[in-house]
Amino acid sequence: MVSSVMTSVQRDRIHFLLLNVGHFLDHLFTLIIATVAVTALKAEWGLSYDQILSYAAPGFFAFGVFSLPAGWLADKWSREGMIAVFFVGIGVASIVTALARSPLELGLALFIVGVFAAIYHPVGLAIVTERWKNTGMRLAVNGVWGNLGVGSAALITGYFIDHGGWRMAFIVPGLVSIAFGLIYAAVFWAAMKPGRAVSAAKSATSTVATTVDYRAMLWRISVIVFVTTAVSSIIFQSTTFALPKVFDERLRGLASTATGLGQLAFLVFAVASIGQLIVGYSLDRIGPRIVFMTVALLQMIFFWAMPGLVDGPALLCALAFMLAAFGQIPINDYMISRMAQGEFRARIYGLRYVVSFSVLAATLPLIKFVYSTWGFDTLFRILALAAAVIFLVVSQLPSRMPELRAISATA
């Protein structure tokens, strides 16, 4: 009996670890191109930074649009099966990207990367929020792994550019992801059988007792979730995608090589991940309203302070606003987990990430336009205004989050 319990505990730990690795790889693959655009492709293909953004945008578009069908398929077929498809599919797509011989081929390959990248968030987060308790902290830990993927994209890509070329930055992580996909499939093969996920979800389904006022509150919170999702996605994409280029322009006194700039970006992203742990701990104890307003206020302050800064002051200010920007990431997922029924959870997360990643794709042309017209100082002022919008919208949240009040369907 003890042995079977220990086996179950160990299985849960392995499952959570692999889901975290998946989040790491998901963000790593989508941001490899950001560092490649800054350093390698300008020299090899003669493309400017804003031209490369045009070829990267379709991948982020796919990242958003395919989130909803990925969530739907996971609810209908198998969530574990979709995670295995994610690992293997995005690994193969990354290797294909390394074979691109022209900007057009690169854009098409990045689109395929985006299709498989779209799987992780609606499916992985549905598993995390339904399988384990302490939702806020679990989401925060999972989010930290994603942030480390963001930071490692600059670090790993910079290293391979200096030691082997930009194509290796796609090939090696691709092979690693395929290997993890095979491990995941081997460990969770039984759980990946067709129909299992549907029956498990349906067995947990219950009838929800609601009132008119309760439904009105859910609608208000849902609007807030999706509005803040859209606006915060502008902030997330602008900071994570543009930061290597910002550092390239403003931190030359601290680093002069692709590897050095990648190390500084990784340092910022890694330290900023602590913000998610603080937020996750706070969400489980005081709820989202105060936490969300606090991180929005911090973003307003430090985005507005960034214009004109270089070297050490710029690095410290970037660390401060990334601490707040990363800290806000698990909040909307936490609110969804408190309201969404298990049977539809992956689809609801899918809809949330359709909004989020569609905005991510649309943000690339914004970065391109603002950068080419006014430079990054104006971009940071725009981000400060976006944070102010989030602050005002979140102020309309109730002080305590409602939960679905379920009653047995057979009662």
Give the mean model confidence (pLDDT) for residues 289-309. Answer: 94
- Condensed to tens digits (0 to 9), the pLDDT of residues 39-51 reads 677 777 777 777 7
Asked if residue 377 is part of any domain, the answer here is: yes
Residue 3 falls inside a structural domain = no
- State pLDDT tens for residues 34-91: 777 666 777 777 777 777 777 887 888 888 789 889 988 988 888 899 999 999 999 9
**Per-residue confidence (pLDDT) for residue 332, from 0 to 100:** 85
Cα–Cα distances (Å) from 243 to 75, 162, 270, 378, 392, in that order, read 36, 19, 14, 14, 26
- Specify the number of domains making up the chain: 1
Position 48 in a domain = yes
Nearest Cα neighbor of 331 from 204, 231, 209, 216 is: 231
Contact present, 235 and 292 (Cβ < 8 Å): no
- Could you report the per-residue pLDDT of 124-180, keeping only the tens digit for each? 988 888 776 667 788 888 988 987 887 788 788 888 888 888 889 899 999 999 999
Largest CA distance in the chain: 69
Q: Domain holding 257: CATH number? A: 1.20.1250.20
Q: Is the pLDDT of residue 410 over 60?
A: no
Percent of the chain surpassing pLDDT 90: 31
Is 50 exceeded by the pLDDT of residue 230?
Answer: yes
- The amino acid present at 165, given as its one-letter code, is G
Query: Does 231 reside within a domain?
Result: yes
> Which tokens hold the place of 90?
């995005």
Backbone dihedral region of 287: left (phi > 0), alpha (psi from -120 to 50 degrees) or beta? left
pLDDT tier, 190 (very low <50, low <70, confident <90, very high otherwise)? low
Is 82 a domain residue?
A: yes
Domain residues for the domain of 18 are 9-407
Query: Which of 176, 200, 202, 181 is closest to 81 using CA atoms?
Result: 181
First to last CA, the chain: 33
pLDDT of res. 119: 95
Distance of CA 187 to the CA centre of its chain: 25
Task: Judge whether residue 408 has pLDDT over 60.
Answer: no
Under the banding of pLDDT at 50, 70 and 90, the label for residue 327 is: confident
User: pLDDT at position 165, please?
Assistant: 84
| Domain annotation covers residue 4 | no
Q: Can you give the pTM of this predicted structure?
A: 0.74
Establish if 245 belongs to a structural domain.
Answer: yes
The CA distance from 132 to 3, in Å, is 21
Give domain status of residue 113, yes or no. yes
